[in-house]
Copies of this chain bind each other. A is one copy, B any other.
Amino acid sequence: MPNPTAAMIVIGDEILAGRTRDSNLHQLAGRLAETGIDLVEARVIADSPGAIVAAVQELSGRHDHVFTSGGIGPTHDDITADCVARALGAAIDVRDDARAILQAHYDATGKELTEARLRMARIPEGAELIGNPVSAAPGFTLRNVHVMAGVPRIFEAMLAGLLPALPGGRPRISDTLRVERPESELAGPLRRLAGEMPDLTFGSYPFEEGSRYGANIVVRGADAATVAAGMERLRALFEDDFAG
C-alpha cells in the first residue's frame, strides 16, 4: 500500500515579504518522513481569504492530509480558522470546549478572557481540537486539514501531539553517500546505475562548503536491503571519493 500523502500550507505575508524566515516546513518535513507520510508539496500563501480558501480546497481534495501553519491568533489578520471552515463548508463560532480551555488558562494567569482572546476559541463545527501545551489556544483538525499555529515552538508542540494519532505508512529508507567531486563527473555513472536499479531512486544534491564541493547522493527505497545494495554499488563507483 502506498504511503499517505500530505501537503503543507504556510500562511504568512511576513514570509513572502522577506521579513520572517519560515522554519515550520522543515520541521514538518522531517517529522512526516519519520512517520511514513509523504510530503508531496508545500505552499506559502498570503493572509488573504481567497488564497487560503482556494489552497485548502485544492490540496485537501488531492492529499490524505493538509497541515497549515499561521493565522490562528487573536488579531484581525488571524483569519485561518474562518477560512478553513468556509473552504470545507463547516459552520464556525466560539465553541464551549475551546472557551473552557482559554478560560482556565487566563484564570490561572490572573487575566481576563477578553473578546479578542475569545476569537481563539472560534472552532469549526465537527473539528477535533489540537492541544497547545505552550499557550493554551488550541489548533484543530477539520476532516483532513490540521490547523496549527505559526510560532515555531507552538507549531512543534502541536505537531508532536497530533502525529501519533495519524496512521502512518512505511518510513522511507534512505542513505547518503557524500562525494567530493563535481556533480558533472558523477552524472554519467549515476544515470546508468539508476537505470539498473529501478526499485531505488538516486538523488544528487550538490553542496559547497568553502573551497570543498561535491554532491550528496541520496538512495531511497522501500526496504533496507535494497538501499544497502544500492549504497554498495555507489561506493564501488565512487570509491576514491568516499568520505563518509
Most buried by B among A78, A205, A208: A205
Contact A43 B46 (CB under 8 A): no
Task: Quote the shortest CB–CB distance from A56 to chain B (angstroms).
Answer: 14
Task: Quote the shortest CB–CB distance from A196 to chain B (angstroms).
Answer: 12
Task: Quote the shortest CB–CB distance from A126 to chain B (angstroms).
Answer: 26
Instruction: Summarize A's interface: helix, strand, loop or mixed.
Output: mixed
Contact B208 A153 (CB under 8 A): yes
Cβ–Cβ < 8 Å partners of A186 in chain B:
75
Task: Quote the shortest CB–CB distance from A131 to chain B (angstroms).
Answer: 18
Of A10-18, A92-100, A221-229, which stretch is located at the interface? A10-18
Task: Quote the shortest CB–CB distance from A33 to chain B (angstroms).
Answer: 5
Pick the contact of A18: B29, B191, B194 (CB < 8 A): B29
Q: Does A235 touch B at the CB level, under 8 Å?
A: no
Q: Which of A157-201 contact B (CB under 8 A)?
A: 172, 174, 176, 182-188, 190-191, 194, 201
Cβ–Cβ < 8 Å partners of A39 in chain B:
16-18
| This chain: copies in complex | 2
Contact A114 B184 (CB under 8 A): yes
Pick the contact of A203: B45, B77, B184 (CB < 8 A): B77
Cβ–Cβ < 8 Å partners of A74 in chain B:
183-184, 187
Contact B26 A75 (CB under 8 A): no
Q: Does A237 touch B at the CB level, under 8 Å?
A: no
Contact B75 A191 (CB under 8 A): yes
> If the complex has contacts A116-B187, A153-B208, A185-B116, are A44 and B46 also in contact, measured as CB distance less than 8 A?
no
Contact A203 B14 (CB under 8 A): yes
Q: Which of A70-102 contact B (CB under 8 A)?
A: 73-78
A-B contact pairs, 11 of them (CB 8 A): A17-B172, A19-B205, A21-B23, A22-B26, A42-B44, A43-B44, A75-B190, A75-B215, A76-B204, A77-B204, A151-B206
Identify 13 new A-B residue pairs, CB closer than 8 A, beyond the known A17-B39, A17-B174, A43-B43.
Answer: A13-B203, A17-B172, A18-B26, A18-B39, A41-B44, A76-B187, A77-B203, A77-B204, A114-B187, A115-B188, A117-B187, A150-B206, A153-B208
